A and B are shown apart, each in its own frame.
Chain A
């Protein structure tokens, strides 16, 4: 029983990390109709900036805020300079541009900070909570992850569902010409979408780094699992990203704990295939004629 509880808790904690990255993917997809393969690399860069700021001895929370602010800036700049020229071209162009950005950013980070593996401090203690007399696989930092990821998904959900800006962003992304005719400033909203998604990414980077080995490539595998989570959830649903992340995390944890750790990636793959066979548009997506 203790084994099951710990594996489940570990899976939820890891899954929420996938959710946080998946939320950024969903945000960018809904706001600009592009899948951003550089989402992880952008988060890596802002986390490295936080790492440098931390080294100046200013304390954790100022560094945390600096990372989020840099995310906002980075997202906007990337959209204006790299993504805008390919926005209305075939989807493959954007894929190649974001892939190129991924490689470029990892190279830059390696050149500046080196490829060494590092540790990155957590916002709160990673010692497990004590229930009864035994520690369980869920720490104060994991609680922070839950709160941060839930808050982020609620904010994203509210933005798209209940605000005019959110509605305009969706219109700008999926029917740019009609939106423009109705007076929506399409260009600005696409920039805003990227900026907000990069903030979500920056948060994810700060949540992932303390539970991983921090180096320029540390988000690569996380992005693969986050992508699995986003597709499971339907790619355009914040709730889907949240649930998709937790399902992916649990699947990896159960396979790791009961079948063998070296089989974990196969667990994620099987899950993805099964969901795509039963519900190709993802669990939470509203079925429409549009397909990715």
Chain B
């Protein structure tokens, strides 16, 4: 080992190797070690450089390089693969109008197939190789939990994670921030509505047995009196292969009159199918995650058509969804009079025409646009001298006043890193204007009550009295 510590460099070691008659394998090893010493010194130098000169990694005079990991393939891809391309529509608009302080936003989203081990590899690649400034709009609870420690240790902002897990607001991880309302807030808002509108009725739950379902139920239980909950059913999403007949039979036998589902879209369909078979018609209340008519509708329309009726994905005969109550934190995409919906549609048409042709404005593309508006404002507030710490500070200081399509304000402070503070309660209704997308027309939403605001903790559910914000004039005019 003397060769590697004498620091004389590869050339000299090569000579020594000949003199001492060592085997080639040993020589290669020594060479490699010497090489890595050189590389380490070089790395140290590059890291030392920027600290003095101050430009932040991923930021130049005319560009900001951001990244994300999202599912573009695999089980979670359908629907969720629309979000990042929709976000890009906003960034393209910003870039076409001079960027933020002259800097264009370059959005580099890569596929992790909703697999945490791939998230880890891809995130490291984004950070170490592509030199991103921050991750923005990465998707998923298990996937983003896997890189939360790494990104925070590197002091890289992990912004607007696409998940309602309570885990994004954690003092241990100051660089992480959520965007949508926490699932517990969804549960509290729905629970409060059930308590006041279905007094004395028997309530049943069917929920996914992981952080998502458990967080929703935590919120429901804070509001709904325990004696009125007659049955609590669960399912395991990883092993769900067929209709949930056992669980629906149990809810029916318990006499549940209101059934709350905290389910992903496929599970919603596999819960409503046995309810249809059994002729079980309680009032269904769904967490928004599993209630998108454009996603669940096509699954159900085939279940109810027999003898090879139309397989058209666009079938509007989705009677099973009619009357379902759910929560919403963005304006309904069927409300064409809403100024945000008008801007959203124009932006997709003009700045992401392929997304518009393929998906139109549905729940997922609307989500992506809203998230991107939020990020652009965070950049504006962070100022001309953009740093990672400066961006995180700007979100904490100004986040509550960001102008977003949200029905209620964002809840950001230096301590709270949750997104929207509440939801409205809405109902899928055959009489509402339909949601029209390139993939068909689906029943739209009408608002029942709200919006409400609350915290994921013990605080009460209160009616939100402020006004919904309007899109900035420049955006409305030039989108």
Contact = CB atoms under 8 A, between A and B. Distances in A.
Contacts of A183: none
Nearest to A268: B239
Given A128-B277, A137-B277, A59 B306 contact: no
A211 B306 contact: no
Contacts of A59: 308
A119 B269 contact: yes
A115 B78 contact: yes
Interface in B267-325: 269-270, 273-274, 276-279, 295, 298-309, 311, 313
A10 B306 contact: no
A271 to B, nearest CB: 14
A84 to B, nearest CB: 32
B472 to A, nearest CB: 35
A59 B209 CA distance: 40
B235 A262 contact: yes
Interface in A44-66: 51, 54-55, 59-61, 63-64
B313 A118 contact: yes
Interface stretch (B136-144, B150-158, B246-254): B246-254
B75 interface: yes
Contacts of A117: 78, 265-266, 269, 295, 299
A256 to B, nearest CB: 3
Contacts of A128: 277-279
A261 B306 contact: no
A261 B235 contact: yes
Chain A CB count within 10 A is highest, among B252, B265, B279, B311, for B311
Chain B CB count within 10 A is highest, among A3, A9, A256, A261, for A261
Contacts of B278: 6, 128, 135-137
Contacts of B311: 51, 54-55, 119-121
Contact of B298 (A13, A119, A135): A119
B279 A262 contact: no
B296 to A, nearest CB: 9
In this complex, the interface size class of chain A, counting residues with CB under 8 Å from chain B, is 35 or more
Nearest to B208: A262
A261 to B, nearest CB: 4
Interface in B199-251: 206, 209, 233-236, 239-247, 249-250
Chain A CB count within 10 A is highest, among B239, B252, B308, for B308
Contacts of B273: 126, 211
A163 interface: no
Nearest to B308: A60
Interface stretch (A22-30, A87-95, A217-225): A217-225
B234 A260 contact: yes
A14 B240 CA distance: 12
Given A211-B273, A261-B209, A262-B235, A121 B306 contact: yes
Nearest to A217: B75
A114 to B, nearest CB: 8
A43 interface: no
A63 B234 CA distance: 36
Contacts of B74: 115
A210 B303 CA distance: 6
A148 interface: no
B241 A222 contact: yes
B73 interface: yes
B246 A10 contact: yes
B245 A115 contact: no
A122 B303 contact: yes
A211 B243 contact: yes
A256 B236 CA distance: 10
Interface in A203-255: 208, 210-215, 217, 221-222, 225, 252-254
Contacts of A63: 308
Contacts of B250: 3, 7, 257
20 contacts: A7-B250, A10-B246, A13-B245, A51-B311, A61-B308, A63-B308, A114-B78, A117-B265, A118-B302, A118-B313, A119-B300, A122-B306, A126-B273, A137-B277, A210-B303, A211-B242, A213-B269, A260-B234, A261-B233, A264-B236
Smallest CB-CB A-B distances: 4 pairs: A60-B308, A119-B302, A10-B245, A256-B246
Interface of B: 73-75, 77-78, 206, 209, 233-236, 239-247, 249-250, 252-253, 265-266, 269-270, 273-274, 276-279, 295, 298-309, 311, 313
